[in-house]
Copies of this chain bind each other. A is one copy, B any other.
Amino acid sequence: MPDGLVTLVIYDITEDDVRLKVSRFLRGKGLTRVQKSAFIGSLSVAQRKDVENGLAKLIYGKKANVQIYPLTPASYSQRIVLGVELRYDDQDRLIA
């Protein structure tokens, strides 16, 4: 994880098309998918604000909840990952 503000974005979005727009948006901003509805990456303060504004627009008026957590490097390095890695294609479909 490079320098910058390590940022975790998690979302809960009921509509498939909105959820897909959000995952594409986050990937386009250079974040890495860590779960179906969770992305992480290192962002400058300006980039983080840009992500926040973009997400707000994408989910406006939708049944959607997005949470953005700034993480310290220690929080990131001390995270625990259990289970298997699940990967998704560019349509948000699980790659078997």
Residue A91 at the B interface, CB < 8 A? Answer: no
Q: Which of A57-79 contact B (CB under 8 A)?
A: 59, 62-72, 74-76, 78-79
With A37-B12, A38-B10, A86-B14 already in contact, the answer to whether A80 and B63 are too (CB < 8 A) is no
Copies of this chain in the oligomer:
2
Q: Are B66 and A81 in contact (CB under 8 A)?
A: yes
The minimal Cβ–Cβ distance linking A55 to chain B, given in whole angstroms, is 6
Known: A14-B94, A65-B82. 10 other contacts (CB 8 A): A12-B86, A14-B86, A35-B65, A62-B83, A63-B86, A65-B85, A69-B71, A70-B79, A71-B71, A71-B75
Show the binding face of A for B, using Cβ within 8 Å: 8, 10-12, 14, 34-38, 52, 55-56, 59, 62-72, 74-76, 78-86, 94
